[in-house]
A and B are shown apart, each in its own frame.
Chain A
Amino acid sequence: MLVNITDNLTQEKWEALVAPFEEETGIDVEIEGPTGQSVAESFPALLASGTAPDVIQSIFPSEDTAPEILDLTDYEWAAGTPMSDLYSTDGKINVVGVGMQAQSLLYYNADLFEQAGIAEPPRTWAELDAALAALDEAGVATPIAFAADWATGVQAQQLWHPQQNLTTPGWQQSVADGSSTLGEQFEPLFEHLASWIDAGYTTADDVATDSGTQEANFIAGDVGIYPMGSWFSTTLAASPPDFEVGVAAAPVDDAADYPGPMGATMAYPYMVWNGTEKADDATALVEYLVTDEAAIATQAEMDHFTREGTDTSSNEYASLVQEVTDKAPSLAVPGNQTVGDHALPVAGFNPKFTELVQGLWQGAEPADVAADLTAWYDAESAG
């Protein structure tokens, strides 16, 4: 099994996770970390060389890799797994997971909010603008923090998911069928970001600072608001700040619509290589990982996710996240979704989005960034 090995998800933890399965079935599970920088980088190379692992964790099928992935639709347990519907293509399931990772979350420093006279977390974009102005006025070093590399693009999208999906439900399909463009979809967000950059709420230093450092800055109390996914609650639990942390859903235009659709991704995605000679063993392992209560609980300890019935009492920050996600009227998959009916029909969305959106911090005009995004999509979708 090729798995994601990171600070949270170590080889030892993976081995402990599959140990009960090995004991029960007698099937030997070999855990393999990525040979390259990540599973996403390693898997295509392994596929091309014909040495792909039986089970792949942490990435999703794409248009290119989908033909290489086993169809799990006929397995009864697959349809009952979280978010399998949002990740299916014409009802076909080729990836399953254990829960949902909420994306559109604002972690805020409640003590700084109080000092700045902000009574309630912002529900609308206007209230968010006002909150940032108040934090700035109160002398907060970084009213809102963005980070470098992948994080810039992901954070920007996380902020925008609720309103974007209210304005254009299923916006990826609108872009794919030509009734909207990527530029139209994101230009209002770019205008918000540009106005914050102009006001100095976030600076060019932010998008040259890695996400680990920005997380440390938030924990140190230097940041007012940090947009990030639910997995940040695991980091907070490991290094609890000495101030009160609040969690709110990302804003919408009209308070009556709050909270809007929650951007969300499947947690712990698993897929099976269709070239495997051990398809039964591989699917049995995946079934165990996504349906066994003890296995699910172990994975929740390794990295936070939201799932009905999951006990979050040991992590106060996860409980805050759970409260927010419980109130979300619906879930919406992000633009870098690579599989299913809601996937944009192009590869490389997030890296290009990140590269272009970072231009805002270098003085690029929102309209130009939006036009570049549309031009990129047009060129990529034309093949």
Chain B
Amino acid sequence: MTRISTSWRSRAGAFANGLLTVPALAVYAGLLVVPVGFAVYYSFTDYNGFPSQTPTWVGLDNYERIAQDPIGDLHPSIWVTVAIAIVGTLLVNAAALGLALLLRRTTPFNTVARVVMFYPHVLSALIVGFLWQAILGPQGAVNNVLEGGGQSTLPFLADPQWALATLIGVIVWAQFGVQLVLYLAGLQAVSPQLQESARIDGANGGQVFRHVTWPALAPTVTVTLVTTVLSLLKVYDVVLGLTNGGPGDATQNWAYEILAVSFANNDIGLACAQAVLLVLVAGLLSFTIIALRRRAEEGAEAIG
């Protein structure tokens, strides 16, 4: 009798625990699985998104259009996206890690400096774009100063290559604050005893960083790399505010093509196909980074 009662209680407990996950599951399914499911479905249709049109099944037509790129606008946007993702990820992480090392000690100055460094991330990305346009535009603050000093102006936003470089720089400025916080948190977890031991053994600052701090930061580096790549792959607001994709199509990235071109032209099928590919690439890149970083993280665990 006692055994039956225990078993019943155990099953009832499991059922109750299962019930507790239902709200989270419902939110997850409602806000993620269902919309993504619709996006995947629409990606195989010709649809303008309006009630008067029923989505028409077109199979792989939207994906073929992306592959063939008859107008020659989608493939260049891939290269812009790749440039932003690779160069941006390197710069964001270099800036964030470098500043985290400088600001790791808790002093009044460092506390203020951390807030200042994080501040760009608090601003709306669209406002960041407009702000830097006012600073770096042909008649912006920087060029006015140059002109006032008798120097020739610089084509930050007027030349295609300069505009892309400027865009990456502004994105880095707007995004590195979060990674800085992650690196600061990661540095707090690095064992001071190990660093001290290394110094006692005669290691200089560079050697301590290379052989103790950097390996111990491996899990943090993995997180910052993944989050940076994901946010840079889908960056849109800064592009809109700073260059609006120009000059010409020089700074049109994949997200811009989805939101400002395909969706704007009510080409929902093509936009969804582009979005599905972006989700796949983002997922693939995330898993690849995590897999590649596994060995480094195992090393960190060994140190820890």
Contacts and interface: CB of A to CB of B under 8 A. Distances in A.
Interface of A: 40-41, 44, 47-48, 50, 62, 64-65, 67-68, 148-149, 203-210, 213, 217, 275, 347-348, 351, 355-356, 358-359, 361-362, 364, 372, 375-376, 378-380, 383
A197 B138 CA distance: 17
Nearest to A67: B52
A208 B158 contact: yes
17 contacts: A47-B51, A48-B50, A68-B50, A205-B138, A205-B139, A205-B158, A207-B158, A207-B247, A208-B157, A210-B137, A213-B137, A348-B264, A348-B265, A351-B264, A355-B245, A361-B247, A375-B72
A44 B49 contact: yes
B286 interface: no
A208 B52 contact: no
Contacts of A351: 260-261, 264
Given A64-B266, A207-B247, A348-B264, A372 B46 contact: no
A358 B245 CA distance: 11
A204 B159 contact: yes
Contacts of A364: 248
B246 interface: yes
A182 B299 CA distance: 62
Given A149-B244, A362-B247, A379-B71, A209 B139 contact: yes
Contacts of B160: 362
Contacts of B155: 204-205, 208
B265 A379 contact: no
Interface of B: 46, 48-53, 70-73, 133, 137-139, 153, 155, 157-160, 163, 244-250, 252, 260-261, 264-267
A376 B296 CA distance: 48
Residue picked from A64, A351, A376, most chain B C-beta under 10 Å? A64
Contacts of B247: 148, 204, 207-208, 358, 361-362
Contacts of A208: 137-138, 155, 157-158, 163, 246-247
A379 B70 contact: yes
Given A47-B50, A64-B266, A379-B70, A355 B246 contact: yes
Please list the 3 inter-chain residue pairs (A to B) with the smallest Cβ-Cβ separation, ordered nearest first: A205-B138, A67-B52, A208-B158
B248 A355 contact: yes
Of listed B71, B155, B260, residue having the most chain A CB within 10 A: B71
Nearest to A275: B51
A212 to B, nearest CB: 11
A205 B153 contact: yes
Contacts of A40: 264
A339 to B, nearest CB: 14
A149 B49 CA distance: 26
A376 B71 contact: yes
B116 to A, nearest CB: 29
B264 A207 contact: no
B156 to A, nearest CB: 8
A303 B151 CA distance: 41
A175 to B, nearest CB: 16
A149 B51 CA distance: 31
A41 B52 contact: no
Nearest to A66: B52
Contacts of B49: 44, 47-48
A208 B153 CA distance: 13
A50 B51 contact: yes
A208 B71 CA distance: 24
Given A207-B158, A359-B248, A372-B71, 6 more contacts: A47-B50, A64-B53, A204-B159, A205-B138, A208-B137, A209-B138
B266 A347 contact: yes
Contacts of B133: 210
B246 A358 contact: yes
Which interface residue of B70, B246, B248 has the most chain A CB atoms within 10 A?
Answer: B248
B71 A67 contact: no
A348 B261 contact: yes
Contacts of B267: 347
A358 B247 CA distance: 6
A346 B49 CA distance: 16
Contact of A372 (B50, B72, B153, B260): B72
A209 B52 CA distance: 40
Contacts of A347: 265-267
Contacts of A48: 49-51
B38 to A, nearest CB: 12
Contacts of B246: 148-149, 207-208, 355, 358
Contacts of B138: 205-206, 208-209
Contacts of A355: 73, 245-246, 248-249, 252
Nearest to B163: A208
A62 B158 CA distance: 33
A50 B51 CA distance: 8
A230 B46 CA distance: 39
Contacts of B252: 355
